[in-house]
Amino acid sequence: MSGEGRVAVVIGGASGIGEATARLMAGRGWRVAIADRDADAAARAAAPLGALALDLDIADRAAVEAASREIEARAGRVHALVVAAAVFQPALPPAELPMEAWDEALRVNLTGTYLANRAFGTRMAATGEGGSIVNIASIAAIASMPVHAYGTTKAAVVALTRNLAGEWGRAGVRVNAVSPGSTLVPRVEERIRSGRYAGDPGAFTALGRMVRPGEVAETIEFLASDRASAITGVNLVVDAGWDVAQTWAQHGGVRQAPPRAQQ
């Protein structure tokens, strides 16, 4: 089991990709702590895993520092940190996007990610035994989309990841990012049902389907584990081939699979 009793903290682990990651890591032998600003949801997600649950606003510096100390005191040295907490935004033009939405995206997605990396990564580096950090970015970090605040903060998370990988590499701390494509989490499923997406997002990918939360969780757990011991500073895209399929549209779209040969 890749966790082997080591401690993993999943911030934003009460729902979506974070919850799937916490569940997978617990199943792989990690001792998991779930931190989320929805304390009740964190407790519900943690209970079946025997995990530690904490109420945490990731953008509150004092709270993040306190959480890093509390988790270490209660569970032991933190070996892996997953930062999955984020806020999204409506797809509005700049003139219509409230500045409050911009400020909140910066506060949570970027400043919060930095504060979590700073608090836990500094402690990992100081032990001399290293550790692993996985920040959740997005395909909005690598492509143009009408989510100007969200996409900008996620692109900044990728840059932050690379910077901190260089900062802490000699201390044995690996820092990587994962950029999921459209993933079948409740928020996205609701957008599909309500018609807020133009059709099935899976139709725009090379594989012809959306990403499942467990597939992103597998990638995160891999990067957190010793199986990725020589990987740092990367942004690993998990998008079912969305990025590679986009430029095919002007050529008629991605080709369908040929008919299967008769046996």
Give the catalytic positions in this structure: 150
Q: Considering Cα of 182, then 184, then 185, then 187, what sign does the dihedral take?
A: positive
**Contact in structure between 13 and 29 (CB atoms under 8 Å):** no
Q: Which residues pair with residue 80 across a beta bridge?
A: 8, 132
Structure tokens at 115: 């504060």
**Can you say how many angstroms the Cα of residue 190 is from the centroid of all Cα atoms in its chain?**
20
Edge to edge, the sheet with strand 235-238 lists 52-55, 31-36, 7-11, 78-83, 131-136, 173-180, 235-238
Question: Beta-strand (E) ranges in the chain?
Answer: 7-11, 31-36, 52-55, 78-83, 131-136, 173-180, 235-238
In this structure, which amino acid lies at residue 223? Answer: L
CA distances from 156 to 16, 184, 221 (A): 22, 24, 22
CA pair distance 2, 68, nearest whole angstrom = 23
